[in-house]
Structure 1
């Protein structure tokens, strides 16, 4: 049967009509060849990292660990034009292969005997000024990166269990394993692999006595709890819940595990529905991004004894999330939206369940969003994270409440409401968002993460001094902190511009920071990376906007093409993160501007809330002001501009090309073209209604409304399983542009969800294909 769908190798194809803006351009600098130099050895004399929040020259560097606190300045790095050329070679650029492709033909990805399948074939480009030591990042390097997560300190504080996720491009799959490392490890103390990692082993959790380690694994088909004795033997499967397990925790006495799993009453009636039976839906929330159709099930709490049958202890028509045991094991705190008509509200309150009586008490307001409760060791208080509204634009701040309900929930200390604990700095590798507060053993203080201006630091909330004390220093993101039972150690993940993250450990006061793993060092030190430069500019109303500029090395007197990259969220940010796509593009000669326009997180609640009911307004002006600023101050070519973004960043991409023809090309991923239909079809209809709250506003600020103005060649990349920004958003815009004979291409990924570019969600080949197509589109048009 004839089909219009292309399922062969990736390629960029351009409609035969309306071939405007199709002249082929190549960046000024080429991807250098590997000279065979050995990777650099990591430096072990490391304590606190230095601060990169200064104007840094955009120089190519090899990855390095954070500098010592004692170092006043970063290690000097020679700029590309300062390097001494190899005098044994001729000072001539290699002869370029003639580009015989017509300007209205798109480049194709082809396989040949000289290059492996999937390799990007592009015309030869000018050689860089000198032959650099190491190659820049390539598209295919994406699957070489491994992601560490979820560090868990043993009860005695001597060991840290953690997860390592890796990609297998050959078999087009991912897998993860549980690893161990000593918390006082030296360079000679290597981490060791605890589980086979042939499937997805995640969420390691120590038993209270430290003799067992429980974890989730999908080795049996669905995520179930396995328990491994630390003195030898194979892991034993503990749970066999029909819908799998999404979260779990040990009881304080170590005799049982509390699990979270989907359930509905019909599950216990053993009623088989015929294949033709209809699905009846009476409430919103019938499906969820990353999960799919829920079939009427909600997350409930189950008690699994180490010996015996599991018992479901709740039967609520709503999800019960973030469960946490009281220290004596008599009560469980959790977060849920138990309001009438909960499906048309995105709120969540803090509740406590008394196991003996089954009684529930609510401890926080129902209008906001509560998350991640944590009992104080003495059982008197519960610290939790709370946002006063449901827009995601307000700070998610540390709050406190008396566990027995005798007090009123409130910000934990003065000024707590002014910080946000969410850590969503985008790198398309890590999925960290919120971390449960970590109590010190005296119950007088606890640790939270704090995002600020593209960085994430650890802060101590001191209830006695009524103060907020920063524990970490320098640059970077300090993630997933876990405090030892005695309060003497903090295990954490540290990530920055040059690494997706490693396991680190510090003393309980934040001092003596030390690196324990080097999961990507050997690979990263075989590549040159581009250090981004912090830039700021004034918006039209005087507001300061911050961004990060990735500049490739350039020959004197030349200018680089520039790609503008608005981030998703919108309440997220760019910052101290390794972004593979930006490194690839910069290595191929493109400058990339990653702006944190108004609406971004980490710049105060007022800054974030400025975006409410103003999508496509001042946020767009911020982007264009940043574009004009760097064009006037940096060696950039104003005639060669592109724009790309994902989710809300895809919306901004679509919106920008509907407002201006300055961009030569655009790539929009899992985006929004019609705010009204996106809100109606998304798994978050209530949220869309709150952030853009009138039909007229939704219509006027939708790119689809202005599709007739779009002239820029547009590549739409969308996952067919995206339930956050449904694929109908891409289809609508594609149809509107194709009917007008514009240059547009829609690529549908059958297995792709909203976060298909993250290794925990998308397959390796999908992620590689998406990035190849993006690079090719810009290399053809910009």
Structure 2
């Protein structure tokens, strides 16, 4: 009797586990709900963050200020809204023999199939990886407007696999392209309406990815670079990242940077794929000149685009976050 009960429980668990998968593809494994562990509710998450803050902050007053900023940025009302409206999972998939981590966010309820956005994150390695806070701050608001969002952490991120290395626009582009294969297996996703966008380094990933696929209808970049070699004159310290990430960088510096710089191959971009460029003039990490120079080149090559510049705003567009989100949402609603 005990054995039969165990078998029944295992079958039920297996069925319920499969039923909650947001991607119905056997190549996608380890699908886990984002709203678990300390992220089950807002108070649990906040308490977890408070413990983390306490390890670094000795002053009670500074701790209160930090928690106040946390509440201002996130907040229980916003958390509950997104948990009610959205489904979110992390997952793993295999690319070039590497286990790569990804994430998917989608509205729980929709009367029609929804357009899909592939999101390309910024940073490199674990730095800039998409954790729950960045999902809630940057991706949940977009998905809540009626989009399925899927993205890659890129190989080597949050992963101890010794052979997996983020090449900053090298073989990691395959991690982005591989996501395309899973879109038809997402319930409620319209595989005929796919857009792509990226922030910072993610803009480079976006341009490199669309060179290899032809079914992306529109793209957008936020605070992104367009010429890595020229970018070193704006921010020389980025060379440390290139030395660490890009294979054979010292031997082939110019060639490797040019390969990753859309400004060198603008003429190869599709004349039917509109491009949105968003940037702040006070961006200290990626100069606004990257987007301005690219917009000039797009005009010269008659490629449809829109350049949106926010005066005095920074790399993260903190002063115009909601306005920039509306710009992005309207762009993809118009073209997808």
**TM-score normalised to the size of structure 1?**
0.34
Partner of 1:595: 152
Out of 651, 660, 669, which is 2:204 matched to? 651
* Residue 724 of structure 1, CA deviation: 2.0
- Mapped to 1, the partners of 2:34 and 2:278 lie a distance apart of 33
Question: C-alpha displacement at 1:63, in angstroms?
Answer: 4.6
- Alignment CA distance shift 1:689-1:617 (3 Å): closer
CA drift of 1:522 comes to: 4.5
Q: Are the structure 2 counterparts of residues 699 and 530 from structure 1 closer, same or farther at C-alpha, using a change threshold of 3 Å?
A: same
| TM-superposed deviation, 1:574 | 1.4
Equivalent residue, structure 2, for 1:687: 240
Equivalent residue in structure 2 for 1:735, among 296, 305, 314: 296
* Alpha-carbon distance, 1:553 to partner: 2.6
What residue is the counterpart of 1:548 in the other structure?
103
Question: Helix, strand or coil for the counterpart of 1:579?
Answer: helix
Structure 2: distance between partners of 1:720 and 1:154: 33
Query: 1:661 aligns to what?
Result: 214
**How far is the alpha carbon of 1:573 from its aligned partner?**
1.2
The 2-side partners of 1:654 and 1:604 are apart by: 28
Asked if 1 retains the 8 angstrom alpha-carbon contact of 2:204 and 2:260, the reply is no
* Conserved 8 A contact 2:31-2:92: no
1:671-693: CA deviation from partner (whole Å, max 9, x where unpaired): 11112111232152432551442
**Structure 1 residues 669 and 583: alpha-carbon distance in aligned structure 2, compared to 1, 3 A threshold:** same
Per-residue CA distance 1:545-573 (angstroms, 9 max, x = gap) = 221111223457x4321101111102231
Relative distance call for 1:54 and 1:701 in structure 2 (3 A) is closer
Q: Confirm or deny: 8 A CA contact 2:120 2:198 kept in the other structure.
A: yes
Alignment partner of 2:193: what SS? strand
Change (3 A) 1:154 1:658: closer
Residue of structure 2 equivalent to 1:705: 264
C-alpha separation in 1, matches of 2:66 and 2:137: 25
C-alpha change, 1:750 and 1:567, in structure 2 (3 Å) is same
SS in 2 for 1:606: coil
Output one character per residue of 1:165-202: Cα deviation in whole Å (capped at 9) or x when no partner: xxxxxxxxxxxx478xxxxxxxxxxxxx9xxxxxxxxx
Deviation at 1:710, TM superposition (A): 1.6
Q: Separation in 1 of the partners of 2:285 and 2:56?
A: 35
Q: Structure 1 pair 627/676, CA: closer, same or farther in 2 (3 Å)?
A: same
SS in structure 1 at match of 2:313: coil
Residue by residue over 1:214-262, the C-alpha shift from the partner in whole angstroms, topping out at 9 and shown as x without a partner, is: xxxxxxxxxxxxxxxxxxxxxxxxxxxxxxxxxxxxxxxxxxxxxxxxx
Secondary structure of 1:661's aligned partner: coil
Note the 1:336-355 alignment, pairs <5 A. Answer: none
Tell me, in whole angstroms, the C-alpha distance in 1 between the residues paired with 2:226 and 2:276: 13
Distance 1:667 1:543 in 2: 28
Counterpart check, 1:586 vs 2:143: yes
> Which residue in the other structure is 1:626 paired with?
179
1:151–1:575 distance in 2 versus 1, CA, 3 Å: same
Q: Deviations over 1:452-486 (max 9, x none)?
A: xxxxxxxxxxxxxxxxxxxxxxxxxxxxxxxxxxx
> In structure 2, what is the equivalent of residue 606 of structure 1?
162
In the TM superposition, residue 599 of structure 1 has moved relative to its aligned partner by 4.5
Aligned pair 1:745/2:277, yes or no? no
Deviation at 1:594, TM superposition (A): 2.4
Task: Give the whole-Å Cα distance in 1 for the aligned partners of 2:40 and 2:52.
Answer: 24
- CA deviation after TM superposition for structure 1 residue 737, in Å: 1.0
When the two chains are superposed, the root-mean-square deviation of aligned CA atoms in Å is 3.5
1:572-611 deviations in Å (ceiling 9; x for gaps): 31133342342222222210012111153x2127366x23
Alignment of 1:269-348 (within 5 A): none
Taking structure 2 as the reference length, what is the TM-score of the superposition?
0.73
SS of residue matched to 2:132? coil
| Residues 413-466 of structure 1: per-residue CA shift (max 9 Å, x gap) | xxxxxxxxxxxxxxxx97xxxxxxxxxxxxxxxxxxxxxxxxxxxxxxxxxxxx
Unaligned runs of 5+ in 2: 1-29
Q: What is the CA–CA distance in structure 2 between the aligned matches of 1:628 and 1:529, rounded to whole Å? A: 26
Larger Rg: 1
Which of residues 282, 299, 305 is equivalent to 1:721? 282
In structure 2, relative to structure 1, the CA distance for the partners of 1:631 and 1:681 (3 Å cut) is: same
Q: Which runs of 5+ in 1 are unaligned?
A: 1-52, 68-146, 165-176, 180-192, 194-428, 431-494, 502-519, 757-761
- When residues 161 and 730 of structure 1 are mapped into structure 2, their CA distance, relative to the original with a 3 A threshold, is same
Q: Is the 8 A contact 1:644 1:666 kept in 2?
A: yes
CA, structure 1 residues 626+685, in 2 after alignment: closer, same or farther (shift >3 Å)? Answer: closer
CA distance in 2, matches of 1:605, 1:647: 26
599 and 680 in structure 1: CA distance in 2 versus 1, 3 angstrom threshold:
farther
SS of the aligned residue for 1:582 comes to helix
Q: For 1:702 and 1:154, how far apart are their aligned partners in 2? A: 41
- Larger strand share, 1 or 2: 1
Which one of the candidate residues 160, 169, 189 is aligned to 1:616?
A: 169
3-state SS in 1 of match to 2:283:
coil
Change (3 A) 1:525 1:736: same
* Structure 2 residue 121 is matched with structure 1 residue 564: no
1:773 aligns with 327
Paired residues in the alignment total 288
1:574 aligns with 2:142: no
Matched, 1:696 2:249: no
1:66, distance to aligned residue in structure 2 (A): 4.6
Alignment of 1:91-490 (within 5 A): 150-151=53-54, 160-163=60-63, 177=65
How far residue 630 of structure 1 moved from its aligned partner, in angstroms, is 3.4
Partners in 2 of 1:667 and 1:554 — Cα distance? 26
SS of residue in 2 equivalent to 1:548 = strand
CA distance 1:154–1:606, change in 2 (3 Å):
closer
User: CA 1:735–1:523 in structure 2 vs 1: closer, same or farther (change >3 Å)?
Assistant: closer
Q: Deviations over 1:5-38 (max 9, x none)?
A: xxxxxxxxxxxxxxxxxxxxxxxxxxxxxxxxxx
Distance 1:680 1:630, change over 3 A: same
Give the secondary-structure state (helix, strand or coil) at the position aligned to 1:532: strand
Q: CA deviation at 1:641?
A: 0.6
